[in-house]
Structure 1
Amino acid sequence: MIVLLLNGPGSAGKTSLARALQRTTIAPFLHVQMDSFLSMLPPRHDNHPDTFFWETTQEDDAPTTRYQTGPLGSALMRGYRRSVAALAHEGWNVIADDVATANDVDDYRAVLAPFRFLTVKVEAPLAVLEAREKARGDRMIGLARDQWQRIHAGIDYDFSLDTASLTPDAAAKRVCDYFGI
């Protein structure tokens, strides 16, 4: 089985790429999103030190929102990664849509060792991310800026995409061609 990790900051185009990949790959792939797991949290644990919490500051005259993870949030994300592995164990190819740190990717590598684990760096220039973030209207302003600065640090990827100049379908074709999927 194949697990394809799409990793990048918010508004980089991971979800659009995942949907395009589902239309393009030869074999079927499930699309499993980190955001789906976040939406399982009870509302009272929104911005809570045990799960996930954030602080917005001004940097270079622009808001920067740092999203941090508490112990229950870390447990939820480990569960997310193990859910991806469980689906692969059951015979599914999986597209994992995540905002993962280097430690998170190391955990993926450990739990997905029996499978073909492929990593794709999904990125775009900061100005593009911020424009998308604002246009979406469903994201905290400044989150993309913070993630853009730090999310790819220390991660060796199999393939990289800049989504600023590619449609999701064109990006999906590049991924499929590169990996032969």
Structure 2
Amino acid sequence: MKKMGIIYGSSTGTCESIAQTIAGKLGVASADVIDASKITTEKVGGYDILLLGTSTWGDGELQDDWYDAIKTVKAADLNGKIVALFGCGDSESYCDTFCDGMGVLYDQLKNSGCTFVGAVSADEYSYSSSIAVIDGKFVGLALDDVNESDKTEERINNWMEEIKKNL
């Protein structure tokens, strides 16, 4: 059985809560749900599947803990690993950088040898711009738990069904 780890960066608790929800639905042990500020290369290396989550801050930037954590993840051998991304953003107040943090994670890891799964059609979202969108799809699960919290659970469930096909 493949070992799955969920690594998240969260400043306000929203992304952490999403990570916990995903873990519960996938049966991932709490020890395998890790704050990005506490990740090590050895931990990353122990997983076959990585679910990486971040909120977006400022002008489309990564959550603070990811600045060091992304270096740690990149230092691990990601060849053959499956990676699924999830991101939190504000599609109303920051519609021009919606979930850009997730796009930054993707950009940092796209040449690492990992296989990305879980792209989500951008059709059902309201935003003006996002670097997390490639060819009409978000590179992972985009969530706005502030303005569209009524859609969060359904979006998580649909995304998990899609990534399960690739696990």
The structure with the larger Rg is 1
TM-score, normalising length: structure 1: 0.44
Greater share of residues in helix: 1
| Higher RCO (CA-CA < 8 Å; seq separation 6+) | 1
